[in-house]
């Protein structure tokens, strides 16, 4: 089953209030209204895209180690997934799909990382719950997400809903701003150029991990051709 098919199935069960969700039906219009407003804002179209240079960053992983984009790119192309946090079931399904594709990313010479505003303890929980073999980096305050054009502030009614649902973002993130990144996937070449970008203000929509493999393999083919020509 594709990642999007799994996301769609989860969304259908959630909206239907099936166990174990039992979500009250009045929450869905609030969520849908916030998503529609973010789509209408056009922010996704203004985010960093293919052909542009990726912002440099230095963040800490779940164990407190410093990780820089420069060091990662020195090893090969970089695949980045910006996701919302351990509390987001759509994000967890995406992480699981990325983990299943990790051997293919490695075979293509790429490094995979996820970036989230959550604190290190919740990153460790994400890695443990989803059995991840790739690192999660903590982007406190969504500063790197902002550099990519992904950070947005939740509207007041959605903040109230999250509080009602016990999605306490300040506690998860150690940051009182009530901001999140739009879910996004990037492939960055070793020269820092963005080779692929997928930014979606609808958090229930995510690209297939296999889409990145096509880009990585083409980049490897072009690099090999340049080397042979030189």
Catalytic residues: 91
Nearest to 85 by CA among 123, 45, 49, 46: 123
**What's CA 133's distance to the chain center, in Å?**
16
Question: Could you give the dihedral angle defined by the CA atoms of residues 57, 58, 61 and 65, in that order, rounded to the nearest 10 degrees?
Answer: 160
Q: CA separation (Å) from 146 to 13, 47, 112, 166, 192?
A: 32, 9, 20, 25, 17
Burial degree of 149 (CB within 10 A; 0-12, 13-18, 19+): buried
Question: What's the farthest any 2 CA atoms get from each other in the chain?
Answer: 63
Task: Quote the Cα angle for 136-27-46, to 5°.
Answer: 50
As given in the structure block, the two tokens for residue 165 are 């649902």
Instruction: Produce one character per residue of 203-215: b if its CB has 16 or more CB atoms within 10 Å, e if not.
Output: bbebbbbeebbeb
């Amino acid at each position: 089953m594709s990642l999007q098919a799994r996301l769609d199935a989860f969304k259908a069960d959630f909206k239907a209030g099936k166990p174990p969700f039992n979500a009250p039906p009045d929450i869905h219009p609030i969520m849908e209204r916030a998503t529609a407003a973010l789509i209408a804002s056009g922010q996704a179209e203004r985010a960093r895209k293919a052909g542009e240079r990726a912002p440099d960053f230095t963040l800490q992983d779940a164990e407190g180690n410093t990780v820089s984009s420069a060091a990662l790119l020195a090893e090969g192309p970089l695949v980045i997934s910006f996701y919302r946090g351990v509390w987001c079931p759509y994000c967890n399904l995406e992480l699981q799909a990325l983990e299943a594709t990790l051997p293919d990313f490695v075979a293509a010479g790429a490094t995979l990382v996820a970036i989230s505003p959550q604190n290190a303890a919740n990153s460790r929980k994400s890695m443990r719950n989803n059995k991840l073999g790739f690192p999660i980096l903590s982007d406190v305050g969504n500063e790197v997400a902002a550099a990519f054009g992904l950070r947005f502030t939740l509207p007041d009614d959605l903040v109230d809903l999250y509080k009602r649902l016990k999605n306490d973002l300040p506690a998860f993130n150690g940051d009182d701003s009530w901001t999140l990144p739009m879910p996004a996937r990037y492939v960055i070449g070793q020269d820092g150029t963005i080779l692929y970008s997928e930014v979606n203000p609808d958090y229930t929509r995510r690209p297939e991990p296999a889409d990145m493999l096509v880009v990585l393999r083409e980049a490897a083919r072009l690099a090999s051709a340049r080397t042979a020509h030189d």
